[in-house]
Amino acid sequence: MLTLKHVSKTFHPGTVNEKRALQDLSLKLDDGEFVTIIGSNGAGKSTMFNAICGTFLIDSGAIFLDGKNITAMPEYKRSSSIGRVFQDPMKGTAPNMTIEENLALAHAKGSRGPLAFAINKKESAYLRDCLAEFGMGLEDRMKTKVGLLSGGQRQVVTLLMCTIVPPKLLLLDEHTAALDPATAQKVMEITNLLVERHHLTTMMITHNMSAALTTGTRTIMMDDGQILFDMSGKEREDMTLDELLKMYSAKKNQTFDTDRMLMTE
């Protein structure tokens, strides 16, 4: 489904600000895999997502999605196949448009022109039903501008926008990090529901190491633009937090720095 082959990216090469963000990174995801990604700040997690989305062109290597080479494909073309939810709830929606209007635009993706904006009663009822099952009361606020919603409510709208037309790949970029614990749990429940329902190939960046070991089917740890280790199956099931930290220290040959890796609970 997704293949990264020897991907490298250096920002500001040849200057004092040179940063090797991705270093010969290779990764393969099968259809329907749900991979959680952990690593210290600056490890290259979001940079990898940006490379996949086409935010910038990589220096070397290749990226394939569903068997198609997208390495040189512009970001706007990739967006029809890749859904992304950011940490910042302000991203991913049009705040001055209503919930209904935002969802209708996402629902129209790929089936109508970008300016086709008429919302008929049947579509309106469908969008309302989609929201109703989440139990957040958003179906009764369809005419409310998204900018007036709470962070958790906006993330739920963004999640539905990203999946109402199921993408080939869903990227979750710390999408619960800015939410309070109760709201974050609710958003994760909805996330798991949508991923399972649509059998979505998913990658989720998180600083919550406990969640990384219990969510999805596979966990990778990144550092300095590389993958330190990649675990799934019984190895992942049996892994404890203490063992995970020891693995990190052994791979890096240094004492684990809790200031660089955030939450463990």
Question: What's the average model confidence in pLDDT over 103-109?
Answer: 87
What integer best gives the mean pLDDT of the chain?
Answer: 89
User: What pLDDT sits at residue 209?
Assistant: 85
Q: What are phi and psi of 27, to 5 degrees?
A: -160, 140
Structure confidence by residue, pLDDT tens digits, 66-75: 999 999 999 9
Least Cα distance to 193 among 125, 134, 132, 129 occurs for: 134
User: What pLDDT sits at residue 259?
Assistant: 41
Structure confidence by residue, pLDDT tens digits, 108-160: 875 544 444 567 888 899 999 999 999 999 999 999 999 999 999 999 999 99
The answer to whether 206 touches 229, Cβ cutoff 8 Å, is: no
Q: Between these two residues, 259 and 43, which has the higher pLDDT value?
A: 43
Q: Between these two residues, 55 and 265, which has the higher pLDDT value?
A: 55
User: What pLDDT sits at residue 208?
Assistant: 87
Structure confidence by residue, pLDDT tens digits, 167-213: 999 999 999 998 999 999 999 999 999 999 999 999 999 988 888 99
Least Cα distance to 169 among 203, 217, 212, 196 occurs for: 203
**Is the per-residue pLDDT at 228 higher than 70?**
yes
**Is the per-residue pLDDT at 40 higher than 60?**
yes
Residue 107 to residue 162: CA distance in whole angstroms: 9
Question: What's the average model confidence in pLDDT over 254-263?
Answer: 46
Chain CA centroid to CA 7, Å: 19
Going through 123-223 in order, the beta strands assigned E by DSSP cover 169-173, 201-205, 218-223
**Is the per-residue pLDDT at 250 higher than 80?**
no
Residue 232's Cβ-count burial label (10 Å; 0-12, 13-18, 19+) is: middle
Ordered alpha helix ranges (H), 5-150: 45-53, 75-78, 99-108, 121-132
Gap between the terminal Cα atoms of the chain = 31
Q: Between these two residues, 227 and 256, which has the higher pLDDT value?
A: 227
**Is the per-residue pLDDT at 265 higher than 60?**
no
User: What pLDDT sits at residue 254?
Assistant: 54
User: What pLDDT sits at residue 241?
Assistant: 85
